[in-house]
Amino acid sequence: MQPEVLAFFHSLTNTVTYLVWDAETKAAVIIDPVLDFTAASGKVSTDSVHRVLTAARDRGLKVEWVLETHVHADHLSAADHIRKLTGTPVAIGSGILEVQRTFGPMLGIEDMKAGAGDFDRLLADGESFPLGRLTVEVMHTPGHTPACVTYRIGDSAFVGDTLFMPDFGTARADFPGGSARTLYRSIRRILDLPPSTRIYVGHDYLPKDANGNGRKEFAWTTSVEAERASNVHVGAGRSEDEFVAMREARDATLPPPGLLMHALQCNVRAGALPPRDADGRRFLKIPVV
């Protein structure tokens, strides 16, 4: 069965948020919502996420879950904002526990709830739950981070940052808890799905070749068949060892995401901003090493 899907591209972070629903029952989920944040000014805005919520309202949808594919390091999540505004629960893969154990002490987060209690549900590999007449199936696909999951809904798979469009390749695997070898094996699980499975990626970056030529328009929808055949990192039968060597060499050249420290402090808590101080102000911490 095929869900209805509406994509929202966030140009400041190249992130795609998905509104996904069952056409008959109007049951919906929101996957990877973005909170607008400007690091230079510390300004937070909810304009982007409210476009998603408005689209859901205009279509008469009932949003039953906010689903995170992983703890994002390049944008702040709007999951907690949606939850506070609408009461919609937030779910993520159970690997969040490892991410919190790593980054909680590193970032000095003192108010994080035990057992990933900032999230309403932790999802295990192979778990499923209904979305109207459809079913959401959970596949743990770690490697980029330990918490990464893919959500299969009908004929579609929402892969987060595990895979990108075929001409861009795959996610980095050099964050704490990441692993290029684990990432390759997770990708193979995705590529073992039926060839016609629609793949919805979490970002797009308009890759260019050495001459500056490349795709002119952003895209976020591909298929298992296309990824198998032409993904520049894992397609056409590239072996695990070849991939690991390529991925590790490439990752060694990449700078940290610009919002890494800002995003992680919020996203390990389902997008919740730090608590206010006595004067009503919020502060994000930047470790100095």
- Closest-CA residue to 271 (of 63, 62, 96): 96
The pLDDT, as a whole number, for residue 212 is 78
Q: How many domains is the chain partitioned into structurally?
A: 1
Statement: residue 238 has pLDDT above 80 = yes
289 lies in some domain: no
79 lies in some domain: yes
List the domain range (segments joined by +) for residue 61: 4-267
Q: Which residue has the tokens 């695990």?
A: 240
Statement: residue 209 has pLDDT above 80 = no
pLDDT, average across residues 260-289: 91
Q: How many CB atoms are located within 10 Å of the residue 40 CB? A: 5
Q: What is the CATH number of the domain that holds 200?
A: 3.60.15.10
The pLDDT, as a whole number, for residue 116 is 86
The pLDDT, as a whole number, for residue 205 is 92
The pLDDT, as a whole number, for residue 112 is 80
**pLDDT interval class at 214 (50, 70, 90):** confident
The pLDDT, as a whole number, for residue 111 is 80
Q: What is the mean pLDDT of the chain?
A: 95
Statement: residue 233 has pLDDT above 80 = yes
The pLDDT, as a whole number, for residue 289 is 78
Statement: residue 263 has pLDDT above 80 = yes
The pLDDT, as a whole number, for residue 245 is 98
The pLDDT, as a whole number, for residue 76 is 97
Statement: residue 215 has pLDDT above 90 = no
Distance CA 269, CA 134 (A): 28
Distance CA 3, CA 148 (A): 22
The pLDDT, as a whole number, for residue 230 is 96
Statement: residue 27 has pLDDT above 90 = yes
94 lies in some domain: yes
Statement: residue 49 has pLDDT above 80 = yes
What contacts 266, CB < 8 A, 6 or more positions away?
A: 35, 76, 77, 80, 272, 273, 274, 284
Distance CA 76, CA 98 (A): 19
The pLDDT, as a whole number, for residue 248 is 98
Statement: residue 210 has pLDDT above 80 = no
Give the least confident one: 56-65, 101-110, 180-189.
101-110
Q: Residue 58 is inside which H or E element, if any?
A: helix 47-58
275 lies in some domain: no
26 lies in some domain: yes
Statement: residue 152 has pLDDT above 90 = yes
pLDDT, average across residues 181-204: 98
Q: Provide the token pair at 2.
A: 């095929």
pLDDT tens for each residue of 88-141: 999 999 999 999 999 888 888 878 888 889 999 999 999 999 999 999 999 999
Phi–psi pair at 139, nearest 5 degrees: -120, 120
70 lies in some domain: yes
pLDDT, average across residues 180-203: 98
- As a whole-number percent, the residues of the chain with pLDDT over 70 amount to 100
Distance CA 86, CA 91 (A): 15
Sheet holding 34-38, edge to edge: 43-45, 34-38, 76-77
97 lies in some domain: yes
157 lies in some domain: yes
Distance CA 249, CA 138 (A): 30
